[in-house]
A and B are shown apart, each in its own frame.
Chain A
Amino acid sequence: MSRAALLVLADGRFPAGGHAHSGGAEAAVRAGRITDAPSLEEFCRGRLHTGGAVTAALAAAAALDADPGELDRAADARTPSPALRAAARRLGRQLMRAARATWPHPELDALARRFPKGAHQPVVLGLAARAAGLGPEDAAYCSAYEGVSGPATAVVRLLSLDPFDATAVLARLAPEVDRVVQDAVDVARRAVSEGPDVLPARSAPLLETGAEAHATWPVRLFAS
């Protein structure tokens, strides 16, 4: 594997549209639940161990060549909020465009044909990692890290939080990201042989209801 390819895929400037999404942080800021660096950290920690653990496992399973259609259905079942399902497919479609231009691969072409409106983003991410010559651990790292760096970056804009404080939050979460990734890879290997039912399904209630509330706002800074 190429370590440089991992940096390209994980780069926040990789043109896959992620910067337009706050990962639920905009709704949590509006609700007064994220007000400073410590509450941002707790938000990111909760997201990492719920939706983050799920998307990391889905991305790792896709990178291990589990059936993407089954993974996409598993992602739907684990995403009860229609606003979050729509966001995940929109992000999947944008990532697909960037990945096909960056690492052309017949598996990406096949997935794009199968899901013309976009597959769930972590499924596309796992196949993009394969196309880039990366493995399941790399895919899980990209997914888990993006799941916390997105909200941290968004909160810098939403609250004018000091970027140094936001980055320190990410550094403090790093050991937990490592553990989530290891668990994701282990369970993804099981999912390849036992099917997607073994994938984690952990949920965060306020992320779901917050995403639905956010979708009704007439004016917002982020798409989700």
Chain B
Amino acid sequence: MTTPGGVRATARIVARGDGRGGTSLPVLEGEGPLALRRTRGSGAEARVMLVGAMSGPLGGDHFTVDARAEQGAGLRVGSAAATLALPGQDKAAARYDVRLSVADGAELHWLPEQLISAHGSDLYVGTRVDLAATARLVLREEQVLGRTGEEPGRLTSRLTVRIAGRCVLDQELACGPGAPGGWDGPAGLAGHRAVGQAVVARPEFAADPPTARMLGQDAAVMPLAGPAALVTAVAPDAQRLRRLLDEALASFV
């Protein structure tokens, strides 16, 4: 629905073990620009695709995606295309909230396509993940600063992961015009235009944490202070970033 200043839209996904080794989707509700499609799953896993029915978010919009994997569920969520943050008519900021929760024994793979920050846009993305003690998670987030050859907009992205109520990761990346100084300098992105994070959480990591390692010069696998690991990667472009993150994720299998 349209509200003064922009579009508010919420998509909800609930996945649940069906008791026969599969996963059912009792709730699959898209709204406005956030449409959802169930696609063919494999094995015990249900697959959902976020389909952008129109481009966005534009300035002033507020999108929310709420996905929960309940007990026994295996859920994989992707998106059909990259999300493009664009400027709105009223110069207001846009907001995109992603809330993910995974119950004991459930597994969520959250693997959307890139978020592209177009020139003149202003977007805050808040991703909050709540995992039960024996939940499993694979999450990948990629931020691309500007379309090819374009100056980026302003993008602030905060990623918070809690396991059994305890925060194991809280980090915010702010870039583009108006971001705090030095964001593109030698400590921040140093001219790179693609940056991404991947999080892998597994209960086994409590006893046997993954080892820290580098992937090339500007990407690292880092065990967190909890049963999870973060991959941080910085790359010149989206393709090379994807390769780094997927190479890192493949090494966990």
Contact = CB atoms under 8 A, between A and B. Distances in A.
A135 to B, nearest CB: 25
Interface in B213-251: 213-214, 217-220, 222-225, 230, 232-234
B173 A43 contact: no
Nearest to B230: A80
A206 B167 contact: no
Interface string A69-90: 0000110111111110100000
For the residues of A in contact with B, the DSSP-based class is helix
B181 interface: yes
A43 B170 CA distance: 22
Interface residues of B, number: 37
Interface centre among B166, B218, B232, B233, by most chain A C-beta atoms within 10 angstroms, is: B232
Interface stretch (A9-17, A107-115, A160-168, A194-202): A194-202
Contacts of B166: 73
A205 B174 contact: no
17 contacts: A31-B217, A46-B183, A49-B180, A73-B225, A74-B170, A78-B170, A78-B171, A79-B225, A80-B232, A201-B160, A201-B171, A202-B180, A205-B232, A206-B186, A208-B222, A212-B220, A212-B222
Contacts of B182: 42-50, 204
Interface of B: 158, 160, 166-174, 180-183, 185-190, 195, 212-214, 217-220, 222-225, 230, 232-234
B186 A212 contact: no
Given A81-B222, A201-B171, 7 more contacts: A24-B187, A31-B186, A201-B172, A202-B173, A202-B174, A206-B218, A209-B214
B173 A213 contact: no
Contacts of A43: 182, 185-187
A65 interface: no
A39 B220 contact: no
A144 interface: no
Contact of A46 (B172, B185, B230, B233): B185
A142 B61 CA distance: 41
